[in-house]
A and B are shown apart, each in its own frame.
Chain A
Amino acid sequence: MHWLVEPGFWSNPVVTTALALGAVVAVVSAAVGVVVVVRGQSFAGHALTDVAMAGGAGASLVGAAPLVGFLLAGVLGGGSMEVVGAERVRDRDVATGVVLGAAAGLTALLLYFVSSASSATGSTQSVLFGSVFTVSPSVVPLGVAVAAATLATLFVVRRPLLLSSLSPELAAARGVRPRAIGLVFVVVLAASVALSALVIGAILSTALLVGPASAALRVARGLAGATLGAIVAGVAAVELGILASYDSFYWSGAHRSVPVSACVVGVVLVEVAASALWSRLRRARG
């Protein structure tokens, strides 16, 4: 095993924190991601990462924890996206695109201020690409609390959420309020994006949200199975990514490690490719 896990991996407290927080975040992202894919809201999920990025940049400008900035901006941005929200898919796409562009512009502006203020060196890097190795242990309880609240909310609304995702018209006829459910879900989504921004950075959090979910959806037949599969795939991606990033420090020879986010996204891509191959083989066999 020595060749696989470089020395000090299990005994390093930074790694232990990263593994634990990473697993929690992966579970939330995967469970939320399944619903995102079913609802066809991947684009909105990505727009929320830009909004979260602006919040993270703002937070580091005022010296607050990035998670707080990610969360506040995501909930506000996502909420307004949903309230303005259009019924037609194309209008929704346009509204999302406008929010995305505005948020990215705001991020650029805030990061410019951040990088000109010498006190916050390195925060541009951590807002954009995150690093679970640099997460302050004091943020962990907040992260776990947000994760628990997010999962609980998702679980409580799961049936009306699924029905209104399948057909807003049928849901409305049955007495569900699709707009209200949509608003609840976008807040859940914002919280999930904020959490994964912490681990792999805002830019790449879409990968952790949509990747494991879409891989599992290709393989599983029912929703429960897909959610379980996405959780397994998501946790595996984060844990393996952390391990690979840690090991790369020893492997490269130059003693420079590959960032965690790149490693996690790499594993996610392998999972997505494998599931695509698997479903193609299954279809070929009939």
Chain B
Amino acid sequence: MGCEPLPEDRREVVHVHRVSVSLGGRTVLRDVDFRVGEGEFVGLIGTNGSGKTTLLRAILGLQAIAAGEVLVAGRARRRGGPVGYVPQRVAFDHDVPVRVADFVALGVDGTRLGLARRGRGVRARVDEVLASLELSALAGRRIGALSGGEQQRVLMAHALASRPRLLLLDEPLANLDLPRVHETIAVLDRVRRAEGVAVVLSAHEIGPLVPVMDRVIYVAQGAVACGTTEEVVRPEVLSALYGHHVDVLHVHGRVVVVEGEAGDPGAHPEVVVR
């Protein structure tokens, strides 16, 4: 289950090269090394507190790294690089006077100083992104008045508006019900193909991602393990990964992940169809 090399036909978008990160004297990530290729859909899987958020923030330049380097599109990481970011939670006040379309436009020109009005190009891009995320109907609403799921979709539009090469999403599925989870994944899969953007999405459950993921990066104890979905989505690997028994069934050419055993307290069997 090596993290290298990239699939042959992919150009590298990000290279996390032997990165270590310490938080308050504790080593959270140690010697982490992987690459992500153009247009790839990568699941960053790990339990809460395993360092997924820290890793995403390190790629963004929001987190200082103790050793190693991060290359984004071949250049040293820097804030404001060609990377879109959807944090796990942004709490907008209910009465924030910002419409969805204006917030998405800030994804393009939010860093610009100056007197000039917002250009037609920016507004056209906003319309395009809103349409591709199925948000056009919400364009005139205040962001604070939206539901949590809608706000998250708007954050995705904001992150995509500047046409990034890489989109990082921190636990975007954590607070969604199962139909919404599948809908969100389907939208992301469509958008990454349409826009040619690589998607790295952190999650603590692998199941719903299996149909679309190209590769899995598993984070545990400060280290990562990588592989294609075929390499990782196997009962012995997944059972070790979760610490309890997981079945992977192949039925009529589909992959079904059944997590937890019957009668297992807290187990919630999950079915994923490919």
Contact = CB atoms under 8 A, between A and B. Distances in A.
Secondary structure of the B contact surface, majority rule? loop
Contacts of B85: 170, 173
Contact of A160 (B78, B83, B87, B110): B110
A163 interface: yes
A221 B98 CA distance: 7
A175 B83 CA distance: 11
A223 B99 CA distance: 8
Interface stretch (A24-32, A103-111, A151-159): A151-159
Given A160-B113, A163-B111, A221-B142, A170 B95 contact: no
B111 A221 contact: no
A220 B110 contact: no
A173 B90 CA distance: 13
A226 B102 CA distance: 14
Contacts of B106: 159, 162-163, 166
B166 to A, nearest CB: 12
Given A155-B115, A156-B115, A167-B90, A176 B110 contact: yes
B98 A34 contact: no
B110 A169 contact: no
A38 interface: yes
Interface string A120-164: 000000000000000000000000000000000001110110110
A174 B80 contact: yes
A99 interface: no
A172 interface: yes
Nearest to A156: B113
Nearest to B95: A217
B87 A162 contact: no
B234 to A, nearest CB: 35
A157 B113 contact: yes
A8 interface: no
Interface residues of B, number: 34
B98 A222 contact: yes
A267 B162 CA distance: 44
Nearest to A160: B111
Contacts of B233: none
Interface string A165-196: 01101111111100000000000000000000
Contacts of B111: 159-160, 163, 171, 174-176
A40 B60 CA distance: 27
B97 A223 contact: yes
A218 interface: yes
A106 to B, nearest CB: 34
Contact of A172 (B79, B92, B99, B114): B79
A272 to B, nearest CB: 14
B34 interface: no
A159 B105 CA distance: 10
A166 B87 contact: no
Contacts of B99: 221-222
Contacts of B78: 175
A223 B102 contact: yes
A264 to B, nearest CB: 24
Contacts of A217: 95, 97
B158 interface: yes
Given A162-B98, A223-B97, 14 more contacts: A156-B114, A159-B113, A160-B112, A162-B106, A166-B96, A166-B106, A169-B62, A170-B85, A170-B158, A171-B110, A171-B111, A174-B110, A175-B78, A175-B79
Q: Which 9 A-B pairs have the closest CB atoms?
A: A175-B80, A163-B110, A226-B97, A173-B85, A175-B79, A167-B90, A223-B97, A163-B106, A173-B60
Interface of A: 34, 38, 40, 155-157, 159-160, 162-163, 166-167, 169-176, 217-218, 220-223, 225-226
11 contacts: A40-B93, A155-B115, A156-B113, A156-B115, A159-B106, A162-B110, A171-B110, A173-B61, A173-B80, A175-B81, A217-B95
